[in-house]
Structures are given as C-alpha cells and as structure tokens.
Amino acid sequence: MATAPTVNRAANRQQPQGNAQRSAPQPIPFTRASRRKSQQAYQDSYALGATIVNARPIEIPAAGFLRYLDCLFDFNVSGNGATVTSPGGTLQFPWNLIANVQVTNAAGDSITVPLEGYWLYLINKYDGTQPSPKCDPYADPDFEVATTGAGATAGSFQFRLRIPFELDPRDAFCALPNLAANKAYQVVFSWNALATIWAGFVPPTGTTVLSLTIDMEYWSQPQASNGEGFPQQTEPGGVGSVSLYRVQQDTVSTGGRVLQLYNVGNVIRWGAFTLQSSAANTPRTDADWPAISYLRLNNDQLFLKRLGRWESEMRHRYGYGTAAVTKDAAGFLDTGVFVLSDFMVQHEEVVPDGPRDQYLVTLDSTLFQFEAAVFGATAQRFVYLQNEIKPKDAQSLYSLNIV
C-alpha cells in the first residue's frame, strides 16, 4: 500500500508571500562610479652643465588613485657658441638626459628601481599600457628633435615620457592609492652632464636649462553610494597590487651563454632585452644578437626565439614599421632591443586591457633562464628590463579580466 506524501507545513510557512524576496544590489563598479581626473603635480627648472645634477625629491600631491605621471622635458639652450652635432643613431639620446629616475612611497620603499632614461623610454614604447604604435615617444606631438649647427639655440630638444602605475584602465588594476597628504609618493630625478648626454659628439655651450612639468592622471574616490542610494565601490578591485620594474645587467662576450634571470618571485608581465657592443659609445647592436635564443622555466623550454621571427613578432604585436632595415625612428623598432611580450599577447596583440591568463607566476625558487646560441664578436653589455606584478592576491590578478 502506498504511503501518502507528508506535507511540511512549517516549510510552507517559511516561503515568502507575494513578491519574491529581493537580493541586495551589487555595488556599482569602481571605474564606473569614479571619474578620471588630471592636475599639475610639479613644475621647475634645472641648470645643467659639466656634472651630474641630483634633483631634490618631488612629492606628488594627494588625490585619488594614481594612474600615471606625464612628464614633459623641455631642454633649452641660449647663447650657444659651438657647432653642435647630434648623437642620434643607436645611442640613447635624447632619453639619456635622465641619468635615472626612481619612485618611492612614504616609507621609502621603491615602486621602481632607479631607471635610466632610455629604459623609461622602452617602458613607454613596449609595456602595453598605451595603444601602440601611437604611444611611440618619437611620434608624440611634443617631441622635438635636437637642433644642430652653430646657432644660438642649437642643442635644444623636447620629449614626453610617462611613469606608469596602472596596468589596465578597465578595472584600474595597480593604480596606486594616493589619498593621504602625509603619505606622499616621491619621484627623484638625476640629470646627466652634457658631455654624457652628447657622448662622442659636440654638446652645446652657453646657458642650458631643463624645464620639467609633471601632470598626474588619477581616478577620483567615489562616495559609498550615489545620489539614488545605490552602493558604489570606493576603491579599485585588488587595491594594494603594485606594478614593479626591475633591471638586470650582465657582461657578455662572443660565444654561447646561459644567463639566469634573477628577478623572480612575482608575476612577470613582460621584459625587454637590450644588447650593447664594445664599439665607441656602446651603441646598441643587432649584429651581435644570437640567431637563436631560448627562454627556459625550471629547465623546461618556454620559447624558441629565432632572430628574424622575433622581429616579425614585435612588428605584428605592436604595429611598429614594415621595413626590416628601418629602426630608431618614429613608428619603428629599436636596434638591439628584443621584447618578450608573450605573457601579455594571448590574442597576438599588445593592448592596454588584454587578458592576464598567460602572465608568468614565479616563486623565489623559480629558475628562469635566457640561453643565447652565440653572441657576436663585439657583444659586451646585456640588459634585461622586466615588468612584474606583486598582486594583493590571486583574485585581484584575474578578476574582471575575462576577455
């Protein structure tokens, strides 16, 4: 005989009557609730000459969440009496105006290690926080090539570079909290001597003055709720995650070489390899680059990099130039510079809000290596500039980034 079903009257009494019970509304995302803003953070002038100039620390005004600092460098010469010549070519001019620049927090901890001016140029051109190829500093409307000759103002030039913090404008990932006036971030510049900037060429004489203007781009801090009472996120997701830059330099010589890349322990986003030769003024060189290179992780091969194919990858992923022989000009690649963009090009294109799925997570114990089949006869200085992320947690790294 079948048993009659039991009716749970208590459970029935607990069911909501009438309209379905509403869940709490999701907060409005930070980048929708906030506003992107900008203001001048600093302006001053420096007299440059025969010795390096260590500028006093620049305190960044407190305001919201820092995206980047936009720096305009205007180098003016008056009363020149020399016949100025231009370094150009494969040297680091005019970016080597900057001996180094470093950003620290209020506690004195480094956000960036001291970066040479040319390294900051490479960051602007290849780090993917701006759309390429439009982000090429050579192609900036404010870029002015150095004048040459015997004119009174010969040697004057101008350029613009960013110091980036935010990696993704869609969710403000890695934007720096900059809300407390008593915890200001500091930027410290050193300027090279004229003889260093014009190494091997004729520098200007007379009066030389560098004008520096820094504008800050940032997100405002939203209120906890909008005018209609809906909740809003008051800070970016994963706030406290930081984008870092570190540099490794090695002396190399002709022949095969395996170089251990020591900057591990964080999440690697991209890197740039630069090779310089022993020729005069240590110009960057393609001629001494190995025909075949390898990247290995814990003795497992990640990438095979054939020289021609590597260049082709960079042209395709960044959109820089089509003529293989043209370099070191607006819209083209740079001699002796090879960029490891594989971790941020899941869709085979470098874009500011690209996927993070292939970022390389490393531990302090990770073995990361670059192997060169054969360096050329005049290879001398090998520089590896790396961008890495110290995320607050894994959720901060991957959330809101499904593309």
Query: CATH no. for residue 289?
Result: 2.60.120.20
Q: Which residue has the tokens 């100025």?
A: 84
325 is a domain residue: yes
225 is a domain residue: no
- pLDDT band, very low/low/confident/very high, at 362 (cuts 50, 70, 90): very high
1 is a domain residue: no
Whole-number Å distance between alpha carbons of 130 and 132? 6
**Tokens describing residue 168:** 């993704």
**Residues 120 and 258 occupy one common structural domain:** no
**Tokens describing residue 101:** 């620049």
Whole-number Å distance between alpha carbons of 140 and 122? 14
| Phi, psi (degrees; rounded to nearest 5) at 143 | -75, 125
391 is a domain residue: yes
Query: What total number of domains does the chain contain?
Result: 2
Residue 281: the pLDDT is 67
**Residues 248 and 363 occupy one common structural domain:** yes
160 is a domain residue: yes
Range of the domain at 319: 242-398
Whole-number Å distance between alpha carbons of 66 and 343? 25
Average of pLDDT values for 22-35? 88
Whole-number Å distance between alpha carbons of 49 and 47? 7
Whole-number Å distance between alpha carbons of 240 and 38? 21
| Phi, psi (degrees; rounded to nearest 5) at 35 | -125, 140
**Tokens describing residue 81:** 């009496």
Q: Which letter does DSSP use for residue 195 in this model? A: H
**Residues 57 and 193 occupy one common structural domain:** yes
From residue 357, alpha-carbon distances to 176, 298, 316, 353, 386 in Å are 22, 20, 20, 12, 18
Residue 21: the pLDDT is 56
**Residues 72 and 211 occupy one common structural domain:** yes
Residue 183: the pLDDT is 87
Average of pLDDT values for 241-262? 94
Residue 225, beta-bridge partner list:
231
Residue 2: the pLDDT is 43
Q: Which of 105-109, 113-117, 131-135 is least confident?
A: 105-109
**Residues 282 and 393 occupy one common structural domain:** yes
2 is a domain residue: no
Nearest one of 160, 163, 44 to 97, comparing CA atoms:
160
Q: Which letter does DSSP use for residue 184 in this model? A: -
371 is a domain residue: yes
Residue 341: strand, helix, or coil: coil
pLDDT over 80 (residue 399): no
Average of pLDDT values for 314-336? 89
**Residues 169 and 286 occupy one common structural domain:** no
pLDDT over 50 (residue 395): yes
CB contact at 8 A, 202 and 195: no
**Residues 96 and 139 occupy one common structural domain:** yes
One-letter amino acid for residue 266 of the chain: N
Buried b or exposed e, range 345-381, using 16+ CB within 10 angstroms: beeeebbbbbebeebbebeeeeebbbbbeebbebbbb
For residues 139 and 398, the model is more confident at 139
Within 8 A by CB and 6+ apart from 192, the residues are 48, 52, 96, 97, 98, 99, 117
Q: In a 10 Å sphere around its CB, with 0-12 CB exposed, 13-18 middle and 19+ buried, how is residue 28 labelled? A: middle
Element (H, E) at 245: strand 242-251
Q: What is the CATH number of the domain that holds 43?
A: 2.70.9.30
- pLDDT band, very low/low/confident/very high, at 11 (cuts 50, 70, 90): very low
Average of pLDDT values for 79-98? 92
Pairing of strands 53-54, 186-191: antiparallel
Q: How many CB atoms are located within 10 Å of the residue 17 CB? A: 6
pLDDT over 90 (residue 9): no
CB contact at 8 A, 159 and 95: yes
Q: In a 10 Å sphere around its CB, with 0-12 CB exposed, 13-18 middle and 19+ buried, how is residue 401 labelled? A: middle
**Residues 182 and 327 occupy one common structural domain:** no
Nearest one of 396, 382, 360, 398 to 264, comparing CA atoms:
360
**Tokens describing residue 315:** 């042209």
**Residues 193 and 273 occupy one common structural domain:** no
155 is a domain residue: yes
Measure CA 230 to chain center: 36
Whole-number Å distance between alpha carbons of 394 and 256? 38
pLDDT over 70 (residue 156): yes
**DSSP, residue by residue, 365-380:** T--EEEEEEEE-TTEE
